[in-house]
Copies of this chain bind each other. A is one copy, B any other.
């Protein structure tokens, strides 16, 4: 029994290490993609920042473009962002942005702002953003102009992320998350459900 337990635990530990390493590589790629043009970022720069070897990145991700296209994908982040019933979705999305920013220094959608750095890759980022974020939210909405209302709601979330994570507004960073959700959530909800009070 002890042996079996150990045998099971070791591969699990190895999987956890591999997942942690992959996450460190993705974090390094995100950091660099927010600061440098796509074409100026070397595999070595990503490896140095992640504290791993370049061959390990190739082992996990295949090549640099495959790593970057993963970072330029919003699907996994948007699953969590949209995981609430429609009547609570405005507050839930605001809270998701704030908790990501405050607790982990990440934002589910804010990396779209770096599209201008990346030339043609920036257009891929924009297309992914449209289909994976705005249109996916629009598909949840009923009523007229769902596409426009979804873009405005997403714009509201982007603005909060810029103010918190990039402009680093001291008041919004010092405020309690519940307070900001109470103040900002209704504006998002009003786009999602214009008929609500």
Enumerate chain A interface residues (CB-CB to B < 8 A).
34-37, 112-113, 115-117, 126, 129-130, 134, 145, 147-152, 154-160, 162-164, 166-172, 175, 179-180, 183-184, 186-187, 190-191
Q: How far is the CA of A164 from the CA of B152 in the complex (A)?
A: 10
Measured between beta carbons, the chain B residues less than 8 angstroms from A169 are 130, 134, 151, 154-155
Contact A167 B117 (CB under 8 A): no
27 contacts between A and B (CB under 8 A): A34-B116, A35-B116, A36-B37, A36-B117, A113-B162, A126-B167, A126-B168, A134-B169, A147-B170, A147-B171, A148-B179, A148-B180, A151-B163, A152-B183, A152-B184, A155-B162, A155-B163, A155-B172, A156-B156, A156-B159, A157-B159, A158-B159, A158-B162, A158-B163, A158-B167, A159-B159, A159-B162
Give chain B nearest CB distance to A39 CB in angstroms: 12
Number of copies of chain A assembled together = 2
Give chain B nearest CB distance to A8 CB in angstroms: 43
Measured between beta carbons, the chain B residues less than 8 angstroms from A179 are 148
Whether A160 contacts B170 in the complex (CB less than 8 A), given A35-B117, A187-B187, comes out as no
Contact of A190 among B134, B152, B187 (CB under 8 A): B187
Q: How far is the CA of A184 from the CA of B148 in the complex (A)?
A: 11
Main DSSP-derived SS at the A contact region: helix
Whether A113 contacts B166 in the complex (CB less than 8 A), given A152-B172, A171-B147, A184-B152, comes out as yes
Give chain B nearest CB distance to A151 CB in angstroms: 4
Measured between beta carbons, the chain B residues less than 8 angstroms from A115 are 166-167
Measured between beta carbons, the chain B residues less than 8 angstroms from A150 are 171
Give chain B nearest CB distance to A22 CB in angstroms: 23
Measured between beta carbons, the chain B residues less than 8 angstroms from A134 are 167, 169, 171
Give chain B nearest CB distance to A177 CB in angstroms: 13
Whether A156 contacts B112 in the complex (CB less than 8 A), given A117-B117, A148-B171, A169-B151, comes out as no
